[in-house]
Amino acid sequence: MLYQELIRRKRDGGTLTAAELGAIVAGISDGSMGDAQLGAFAMAVLLRGMDLTERVALTTAMRDSGDVMEWDRGPVIDKHSTGGIGDTVSLMLMPAMAACGAVVPSIAGRGLGHTGGTLDKLESIPGYDIAPDAARLRRIVAQTGCALVGQTAALAPADKRFYAIRDVTGTVESLDLITASILSKKLAEGLDALVLDVKCGNGAFMEDLDSARNLARALVDVGNGAGCRTVALITDMSQPLAPAAGNALEMNLTLDFLTGRAVDARLWRVTCALGGEALTLAGLANDPEQGVSMLENAFRSGAAAECFGRMVAALGGPADLLENAQAYLPAAPVTQVVAAPSAGVVTGYDTRAIGLAVIGLGGGRRQPSDRIDPRVGFAEIAPVGQRVQAGDPLAIVHAADTDSAALATKAYLAACRIGDTPAAAPAPLVLDRISG
């Protein structure tokens, strides 16, 4: 099969069969399709698009380019977020769903652009192994019901090369290729059901609601088309979801949430809404309302915290992390209050700028090879709508030195808007629901 003929047909607006797309994915995997050809194919898809049949075929071929997990019991479910600031939902939701009877082998990702990554947060836990081999992963999931780990080389390997080519050919934005990239990895987990958290707002990749709906619809249709029951919630990311941004700070917040020491209301509502949908898809709840009730019980009874603690210990972390977090999670040597410059009401944030400020502190990557400082970031972030007096804290900067703390303070103040009166009613946390 001549790759150039397939590229030409897609360039001219034609459609490709499942067998032809399978041949392209095989060429990606074994290297017989050159980088120039792969870049040309990606550009043709970006410009001409794919229909649903093509999207499903490309996604399943990429899923099948490596191992597809199989499990002795189920239902097997997971959740995926398109990324934001202060988004710790996966860290609480996965053990809670396992406590409700689900099998949750969650393949998490690192930070991308201005957004934080679940794996980076987990790596703030000393000893935590984000890359267990397949046999160990199976044992841990059998013992604890869940595992939050990274993608192995055996899962959807075609995606790794394809993404690298897209990254340097200006084709990352293709809705068809975004969909195949996200879902090929998730479907390789052997899922029965998947809930998607598509973020929308100035801290998300999809800033407007129409773009978020388009992505959610593409993901839901392909997930269902590939045989995995899938639903998406579009959730607000016009301010940090949690009152912390930074890896160890978000892990501390997670532990406080799981143990009930401090539970942020916005984070609670989004976590339970997503989990209620997932448990319903999986057949563990009759409807999302019952699913939410099950999750609330898992949190309040301590079952979710217990599951998280067992998972951490099984993956090499401290067995007493929940009880003694401060003994294990790294702390920054410099903390500094971000003081309100005037009295008023916090009316909004440039949320993306806060994520970039965390990167500036060393809490994210400018280059793939950069090492992350897990200690740094912002804590006690004032929510939109909070009234402040001049000098009141808007946040606490955690930094490696005084110079970076000063720069982060300046960046935070530039990102925070204070007005005389509250802004119009804030956007609801769940903006829309997209189902099959």
As annotated, the active-site residues are 78-81, 118, 166, 181, 185-186
Do β-strands 377-379 and 229-236 pair in parallel, antiparallel, or remain unpaired?
A: unpaired
Distance CA 175, CA 166 (A): 12
User: What are the strands of the beta sheet with 416-419, ordered from one edge?
Assistant: 387-388, 344-349, 416-419
Cα 47 to chain center, whole Å? 27
Backbone angles phi, psi at 431, to 5 degrees: -85, -30
Q: Residue 142 corresponds to which amino acid? A: A
Q: How many whole angstroms separate alpha carbon 234 and alpha carbon 183?
A: 17
Chain mean position to CA 185: 13
CA distance linking residue 306 with residue 101, whole number of Å? 14
Tokens representing 367 are 């280059």
Report yes or no: 182 and 215 within 8 Å, Cβ to Cβ: no
3-state secondary structure 245-302: ECHHHHHHHHHHHHHCCCCCHHHHHHHHHHHHHHHHHCCCCCCHHHHHHHHHHHHHHC
**Residue 381 CA: distances (Å) to CA of 37, 52, 209:** 47, 42, 25
Pull the structure tokens for residue 297. 């019980």
- Nearest CA among 26, 327, 341, 331 for reference residue 162: 26
Place of tokens 């999207």: 55
Contacts of 378 (CB under 8 A, 6+ apart): 244, 245, 246, 249, 338, 354, 357, 358, 395, 396, 397, 398, 408, 412
> How many beta carbons lie within 10 A of that of residue 30, not counting itself?
10
